[in-house]
Amino acid sequence: TQSTRPQRLLGAVQKNATRGDPRSVVKAIDHFCRNQEWAMNVGDEKGCILDSVVSEVNPATVLELGTYCGYSTVRIASLLPPHAKLITLEFNPDFAAIARQVIAWAGLEHKVQLVEGASGDWIPKMKEQFGVETFDLVFLDHWKDRYLPDTHLMEECGLLRKGSVLLADNVICPGTPDYLEFVRSSPRYKSQYFKSHLEYTKVEDGLEKSVFLG
């Protein structure tokens, strides 16, 4: 039977990356996506912006919406302080199965809790299920039409505090127009656009960083 692209991406990690070395996992995925097959990871260019925001926020609690194969999960988790926790939500069970193995290859499973299911179902259960108070950083990289409703949901569930940072991928391509309009016009957010390119291409894309003002 035919392998899937995520399965081939995992194969490239297991072949070319060193177990327990997150940077080599990131490098192996970027090499695979540049030279073999494009895949919708945040990629190396936007990944550097992600790294700088993670380092600046130095979060104790992180929520990632949209795990895919775990590329950004590995980037973020490898920068977290010792007792910090990253919860990553993935709807697609096939993506989740690959991501677990990529995260394990990087040796980061103890820092990451991968949850399978729909963000809309899980966000209201975060506090009771995972003992989370608020998130210091949220990385939005899931279905583009869920960014805005899930942001409202996180606010309603009291998961954001004064200073919580939302970092959103793909605000230009594929685009999240309703989300962008909201965070840029709402008095409760301070937003900043980081111009970049769609992963592994010359197409414009960017990350939007929005600080919740409470």
Ligand X SMILES: O=C(NCCNC(=O)c1cc(-c2ccc(F)cc2)cc(O)c1O)c1cc(O)ncn1
Task: List residues with catalytic annotation.
Answer: 141, 144, 169-170, 199
Beta-carbon contacts of 164 under 8 Å, excluding residues fewer than 6 positions away, are: 134, 135, 136, 137, 138, 211, 212
206 binds, among Mg ion, ligand X, none (CB under 5 to 8 A by kind): none
- Give the one residue of 100, 111, 142, 209 binding ligand X; rule: CB under 6 A: 142
Q: What are phi and psi of 87, to 5 degrees?
A: -105, 125
- Give the one residue of 120, 174, 175, 177 binding ligand X; rule: CB under 6 A: 174
Separation between Cα atoms, residue 140 and residue 208, nearest integer Å: 10
Separation between Cα atoms, residue 172 and residue 131, nearest integer Å: 34
- Give the one residue of 61, 73, 170, 210 binding Mg ion; rule: CB under 5 A: 170
Q: Which two tokens stand for residue 1?
A: 């039977």
- Give the one residue of 30, 44, 136, 141 binding ligand X; rule: CB under 6 A: 141
Binding mask 51-70 for ligand X (x = CB under 6 A): ---------------x-x--
- Distances, alpha carbon 136 to alpha carbons 87, 119, 177, 183, 206, in Å: 12, 18, 24, 17, 21
**Cβ nearer to ligand X, comparing 158 with 174:** 174
Nearest distance from C-beta of residue 134 to ligand X, angstroms: 24
Q: Is 172 in the site for ligand X (CB under 6 A)?
A: no
**Cβ nearer to Mg ion, comparing 73 with 134:** 73
Separation between Cα atoms, residue 132 and residue 15, nearest integer Å: 36
Q: Where on the chain is the footprint of ligand X (CB under 6 A)?
A: 40, 66, 68, 91-92, 141-143, 169-170, 173-174, 198-199
